[in-house]
Amino acid sequence: MASHLLSKSSFIKGLQCEKHLYLYKYHYDEMDKLSEMQKAIFKRGSNVGVLAQRLCPGGMVAAQGDPPNYDAALKRTKELINGDAQVIYEAAFMFNEVLSIADIVVIEKGGMKVYEVKSSTSISETYLNDAALQYYVISGLGIRVKDFSIVYINNQYVRKGDLNLQELFITESVLDLILPLQKSVKQNVDRFKKLLVRKKMPDIDIGEHCHNPYTCGFYDYCRKHIPEDSIFDFSGMHLSKKYELYNDGIINLKDVPEDYPLNKNNEIQLHVFRSGKPLIDNKAIKSFLSDLNYPLYFMDFETFQPAVPLFDNSKPYQQIPFQYSVFIKKDKNSDAQHFEFLAESGIDPRKKFIESLLRVTKGKGDVLVYNKTFEITRLNEIARNFPEYADEIERLISRIKDLMIPFQKKYYYAPEMKGSFSIKAVLPALVPELSYDELEINEGGLASIAYESLQTQTDLMIIAEIKKQLLEYCKMDTLGMVRILERLEELVF
Ligand code: SF4
């Protein structure tokens, strides 16, 4: 059987950048390593795909394996169609050397209905291009596509009892939108095929297209010439402005002209980079610290976001808090006392989480968090879902202050922070002895994946290890806050 030159994913890559398509096809090994977060997103996509198959029950799977054996999948699809199958999952088609695997096809008299499942909560332009290519392939084989729909997640669905798939998923016909795209699909297929046959790397430099619609998988590969301290470190600067500088040949931070117009934040960033010394606004830091009321509670939450709601009164992708860490400092000179909570897996963690948190934070004194919007939003969500705690939650929220302020507003800014004011950037600058490097779980996204994995994990040793790692990570975030505050106090008092 003839092998394919293009697939759905390589076609989408070609639309982003011809060099992306070329590298993906001929230099796959050079692709940036997938982060654990990206792997989890792919896994989520396939889990949602399998769940959506239940919308059209009774089908047979044509493409098996990861990656599938394409020849076998094409053969099996043909057999199923000829054998009177009514529903096929992962149905494989090839036309004009373009391979396409459709999530669900329903075969009816006189044609077929195709369903493409996405784990997102809306239809993007990329999804339309993906659907348009599939239509091109299937209809190119002489099969009448009666309708083509994208199935995606309804973010307004609130789970009550058993999952209601009809409410969880939205099925939207995009046939009218992809028919007008057929001419450009054909032109692009021809263009990409020529490029791949020529086997010559397109001469394309980095630009805004590397970020749209996704960050390209060869991002690091194409940026090997970017020095460590570059204009791409400017925080909050619009991408178009960064590439304007880049295209003018200004790449290294040290090469930015003195009179180049920058906003206040970027000016400070550049000034500190040049001087190599931190900027410390004593007056502003003092004023921030003087406004704090002891006892201080240093608080941090971890959450996970299941695409398919696992618990009653929760929506798709709702952030469900499952863990907190709190350090309490009675006064400036006392040692911080640690409290923590990590929910059991398999049950809704929110009630036990909030009951424990309210118990530990009861009383007077400010509650310090790092980026208060996150914790306040989570608390408000719990108050909405569990109104019996609403009053106490409101009182807790009224005590929250944000330790991020001195860094966000650049009262303190050090060259090591490279324009960022996240706690992970501040810690090495102010408290280098505390590091996330030794931790297995060293960022919030990984904590979220790890907890989600506990929902289906049965090996007790693995469960114990993951719990230990989660507790270490969340504790580190709050301990970092305690030390950051102590360091600020040392700096200005
Ligand atoms: S990083 Fe940018 S230039 Fe390089 S292949 Fe990707 S999109 Fe193209």
Give ∠ CA 3-6-9 in degrees, rounded to 5: 125
CB 158 within 8 A of CB 318: no
What was the pLDDT predicted at 2? 58
Indicate the top mutation candidate among 218, 242, 243 to test ligand 1's pocket, ranked by most ligand atoms within 8 A of CB: 218
Indicate the top mutation candidate among 9, 12, 16 to test ligand 1's pocket, ranked by most ligand atoms within 8 A of CB: 16
CATH number of 6-198: 3.90.320.10
What was the pLDDT predicted at 438? 83
Q: How many whole angstroms from 68 Cα to the centroid of ligand 1?
A: 27
Cα radius of gyration (the chain): 27
Atom number, ligand 1, closest to the C-alpha of residue 217: 6
What was the pLDDT predicted at 3? 81
CB 324 within 8 A of CB 331: no
Distance of CA 302 to the CA centre of its chain: 15
The CA distance from 312 to 296, in Å, is 34
Query: Checking DSSP bridges between strand 98-108 and strand 111-117, what pairing results, if any?
Result: antiparallel
**What residues line ligand 1, using a CB cutoff of 6 Å?**
16-17, 19-20, 23, 204, 206, 209-210, 216, 218-219, 222
The CA distance from 202 to 225, in Å, is 17
C-alpha atoms less than 13 angstroms from C-alpha of 292 in its C-beta half-sphere: 25
Helix (H, G, I), strand (E, B), or coil: what is residue 235? coil
What was the pLDDT predicted at 67? 85
Structure tokens at 417: 């922070």
Going from the C-alpha of 137 to that of each of 85, 98, 117, 150, the distances in angstroms are 20, 7, 18, 17
Cis? peptide before 321, omega within 30° of 0: no
CB 5 within 8 A of CB 196: yes
> What residue's CA is closest to ligand 1, atom 1?
219
Atom number, ligand 1, closest to the C-alpha of residue 18: 8
Q: How many whole angstroms from 134 Cα to the centroid of ligand 1?
A: 24
* Sign of torsion over alpha carbons 208, 209, 212, 218: negative
The parts of the chain modelled with pLDDT lower than 70 are 1-2
- Residue 178's nearest CA partner among 131, 234, 231, 244 is 131
Q: How many whole angstroms from 235 Cα to the centroid of ligand 1?
A: 22
> What residue's CA is closest to ligand 1, atom 3?
206
What was the pLDDT predicted at 45? 78
> What residue's CA is closest to ligand 1, atom 7?
210
Q: How many whole angstroms from 243 Cα to the centroid of ligand 1?
A: 14
Q: How many whole angstroms from 195 Cα to the centroid of ligand 1?
A: 15
Q: How many whole angstroms from 234 Cα to the centroid of ligand 1?
A: 21
40: left (phi over 0), alpha (psi -120 to 50) or beta: alpha
CATH number of 283-492: 3.30.420.10
Atom number, ligand 1, closest to the C-alpha of residue 204: 3
218, 221, 222, 227: CA torsion to nearest 10: 130
E strands along 330-479, which residues?
337-342, 367-369, 400-402, 412-413
Burial of 390 (0-12, 13-18, 19+ CB in 10 A): middle
